[in-house]
Structure 1
Amino acid sequence: MSSIPTSAPPPEAPLRVNALRILGTTATRNSFLNSVTSHVFKAGTTEEVMQRVETIATQLQKHDIFDEIKIYLDTNHAIPDTVDVTLHLKEKEKGLFQTKVNVGDNQAELNGGVGLRNVFGGAESGAVNFSFGNRTKAAVESVFETPFRGNANTRMGVFLNGSIRDHSQINAYRESAKSSGVRFKGWTQYGEHQVAYAVTEREVTALSTASATVRSQSGTNHKQSVYHSFVRDQRNSATLPTRGHFLGIYQELSGLGGRGDTSFLKHEMQASFHQALVDEGDSKLVFSTSVRAGLFTALNDKENEQMHMSDRFYVGGPLSVRGFKMGGIGEREGNDALGGEGYWAAGASLISSIPGLSHLPIKAHAFANAGSIVTRAGTPSDTIKDLSETPRTSVGFGLILHHSIARLEANYCIPLKYAGTDLPEPKLQFGFGLNFL
């Protein structure tokens, strides 16, 4: 909120900030507030003053440590062409406790956490988070983050986490993991970047029905990786968008300098586009299309060494290529999917409101899916050739029940093309999560 003179001068008129006062803070350091606000004194015109004041308000809002932010500009009559700026701030409570339900690929988790905001008066935050679910049996993470040089668009921190996960929907094993590392986050007008370095110890326990491949990877393994991700999300909804686009690019470099038990470079990309074809009153028809692709490259000379099961790609399932079981596309050994080192998957849907039920969160849709996977990636050209020559396809129709936290689908699926090693799942199939093809 701001107060400015009623007869505002033109944008190019000379104007400087003479003084800046900050009221209402007790826990926030003056040095931190100065780092956020000091640039306002460099303004030389009315337009620059207003832009820098707006930047201050935006930065303070993003730091998430204030309940109220009020900014007043008052003409300084003693010094021509100057204004005095006053910030009235109301700090949020330091303590934070929250619980929520997170939904992923056919899994649901109960999440909770306790945390502290503005720990040392510079918008630092510390938290301990936990989760329990049907696939993630238990997970806990502690994290401490601080803005880099007071900038709300960049944060850096350290983390420790541990988890126990059940992979039996795809492979017959459970995995406990412990990780520690550092993480950097940055936000730009184009999207969000994250860069992290993590040291991970994983303990794999094969179940009684596990194949020889799964059993051979039982025990403890170590991984040291550098991660990078870029996400641009311009959708109007995460669960059932009617317009916008999404782009996610993810990289992992493991075993740099020969550290850890595995060495590889992994790329993955996800993209989607959504457009309303009909949007008139209660009649809505939306076209959605999505694509995913990934490629893994080994960085060692051991030709017979396989990528670890937890690092491999898997294709098939109600959120991937519908009409197939989870991880049901590709080579198998017994009941276990071998996964792959390269894949692609795509989908297109027409989503429509249902006459007479437009007031309910229920939609009807028809879809077509396709995808492929290669167990061992060769040269890029060979891998692309293999992936293009072995597509699996399916079509179908069904109902969508959508909520702000998740989407539930009940579909009648018709697998059209599949290989002898695949596990098609025709007729009725259920799926819940966020990212459907």
Structure 2
Amino acid sequence: MAEPEHVISDPVVQNHNNEDENELQERSDDVEDDEDEDPESQKAKLRNRFQNFFRRIQHESVSIRVHDVLIKGNTKTKDTLIEAETASLKDASTIKELLAASGDVSFRLQALEIFDSVKITLDSGPPELPGTANVIVDVVETKSPLLGEIGVFNKGEASSSTLEGTLKYKNIFGYGDLWDGSLAYDCDHKAEASAGVFLPRFKGLGNPVTARLFLQSRDWLKFSSFKERSLGLSLGLFSTRNHDVVYNLAWRTLTDPSRMASSSIREAAWSWFTFIFEVHI
């Protein structure tokens, strides 16, 4: 089942209740005087005025304050999740900062993989509060929360292939949660079954939390008669775009099911716990 294509919309500026709005209003009065002109001339003048307005936004610090952030379109996703992802919008103090924050918020919402599209619109605030703006976040939730993938992957450093299959279900409880189960088997007689969950926000934490339960089995027929099994839990404690901190706890067992090894070696086979901290940079 193919994953729905995400449509990322850039923030749309409708209007702003600030000093530039007054400037636009004064200029719009001139349009009434140009009613006798042909439509093409009127369009050209209006286009030039808006180009000058947006050029000023880019090169000057036009002050603005976000009055409210309105969320629309979410039927299953909790408002608290979207509010947490859009909190940076209220920190913007200029139109340029607000446009940049809107683009960043759109990227983060799309990265949750639970929306087919995200559109952010900037509108004027209440008339009694000049210099303010309302931000409208309009989302379209994905129509296909269930996703399945299967494939064969070749290892570049070894002449072996791996067959992998994954089944994912998105946003079951409305918190942006992603649940998945996977199976993998390669030609080196290594098999793995795992199930996990990903939470973008957990009890106010600013970083996503992941948990995965796994069962691995591998024999070493090329080198010995031993077979290794691992049952463990992996916890993602900290995650950013560039860094991850993962804690792995596993119970590992070595056995000799064929009983080809000598008795002294079999007696040396044992089980043990492993504790591993992984830092991905």
Would you say same fold, with TM above 0.5?
Answer: yes
Partner Cα distance (2:229, 2:250) in 1: 14
Equivalent residue number for residue 12 of structure 1: 61
Partner Cα distance (1:214, 1:21) in 2: 68
Equivalent residue number for residue 107 of structure 2: 58
Tell me if structure 2 keeps the 8 A contact 1:177–1:201: yes
Deviation at 1:14, TM superposition (A): 0.4
Kindly provide the CA deviation profile for residues 284-324 of structure 1, in whole angstroms up to 9, marking residues without a partner as x: xxxxxxxxxxxxxxxxxxxxxxxxxxxxxxxxxxxxxxxxx
Deviation at 1:38, TM superposition (A): 2.5
Equivalent residue number for residue 41 of structure 1: 90
Deviation at 1:140, TM superposition (A): 0.6
Partner Cα distance (1:11, 1:129) in 2: 52
Equivalent residue number for residue 133 of structure 2: 83
**1:4 partner letter:** V
Partner Cα distance (2:205, 2:189) in 1: 32
Equivalent residue number for residue 179 of structure 1: 232
Deviation at 1:198, TM superposition (A): 0.9
**1:195 partner letter:** V
Number of residue-to-residue matches in the alignment? 228
Deviation at 1:40, TM superposition (A): 1.1
**1:71 partner letter:** I
Deviation at 1:149, TM superposition (A): 4.8
Kindly provide the CA deviation profile for residues 343-399 of structure 1, in whole angstroms up to 9, marking residues without a partner as x: xxxxxxxxxxxxxxxxxxxxxxxxxxxxxxxxxxxxxxxxxxxxxxxxxxxxxxxxx
Identity, % of aligned positions:
18
Structure 1 150/57 Cα, relative in aligned 2: closer, same or farther at 3 Å?
Answer: farther
Partner Cα distance (1:39, 1:167) in 2: 53
Partner Cα distance (2:255, 2:236) in 1: 26
Q: 2:73 aligns with which of 7, 10, 24?
A: 24
Higher helix share: 2
Matched, 1:98 2:149: yes
Which has the larger displacement, 198-207 or 41-50? 198-207
Tell me if structure 2 keeps the 8 A contact 1:177–1:203: no
**2:227 partner letter:** R
**1:132 partner letter:** Y
Partner Cα distance (1:214, 1:81) in 2: 79
Deviation at 1:30, TM superposition (A): 0.7
In structure 1, the residue corresponding to 2:89 is in which secondary structure?
helix
**1:157 partner letter:** T
Tell me if structure 2 keeps the 8 A contact 1:172–1:214: no
Equivalent residue number for residue 272 of structure 2: 222
Structure exhibiting the larger radius of gyration computed from Cα positions: 2
Kindly provide the CA deviation profile for residues 159-209 of structure 1, in whole angstroms up to 9, marking residues without a partner as x: 211122122334442212211242334124xx3323213132323326566
Q: 2:162 aligns with which of 102, 105, 109?
A: 109
Equivalent residue number for residue 304 of structure 1: none
**2:12 partner letter:** S
What pairs up with 1:200-219 in 2 under 5 angstroms? Answer: 200-205=251-256, 215=266, 217-218=268-269
Kindly provide the CA deviation profile for residues 238-265 of structure 1, in whole angstroms up to 9, marking residues without a partner as x: xxxxxxxxxxxxxxxxxxxxxxxxxxxx
Structure 1 152/113 Cα, relative in aligned 2: closer, same or farther at 3 Å?
Answer: farther
Tell me if structure 1 keeps the 8 A contact 2:216–2:231: yes
**Unaligned residue ranges in structure 2 (runs of 5+):** 1-8, 15-49
In structure 2, the residue corresponding to 1:26 is in which secondary structure?
coil
Partner Cα distance (2:66, 2:138) in 1: 17
In structure 2, the residue corresponding to 1:169 is in which secondary structure?
coil
Please report the TM-score for the alignment, with normalisation by the length of structure 1: 0.47
**1:113 partner letter:** T
Instruction: Tell which has more relative contact order, 1 or 2 (C-alpha 8 A, sep 6+).
Output: 2
Deviation at 1:128, TM superposition (A): 1.3
Tell me if structure 2 keeps the 8 A contact 1:122–1:150: no
Deviation at 1:103, TM superposition (A): 3.4
Tell me if structure 2 keeps the 8 A contact 1:204–1:217: no
**1:145 partner letter:** F
Structure 1 136/51 Cα, relative in aligned 2: closer, same or farther at 3 Å?
Answer: farther
**2:184 partner letter:** S
Structure 1 136/50 Cα, relative in aligned 2: closer, same or farther at 3 Å?
Answer: farther
Please report the TM-score for the alignment, with normalisation by the length of structure 2: 0.70
In structure 2, the residue corresponding to 1:44 is in which secondary structure?
coil
What pairs up with 1:202-281 in 2 under 5 angstroms? Answer: 202-205=253-256, 215=266, 217-218=268-269, 220-231=270-281
**2:88 partner letter:** H
Tell me if structure 2 keeps the 8 A contact 1:36–1:151: no
Higher strand share: 1
Partner Cα distance (2:202, 2:104) in 1: 15
What pairs up with 1:32-431 in 2 under 5 angstroms? Answer: 32-76=81-125, 78=127, 79-92=129-142, 93-104=144-155, 105-106=157-158, 107-149=160-202, 154-188=207-241, 191-205=242-256, 215=266, 217-218=268-269, 220-231=270-281
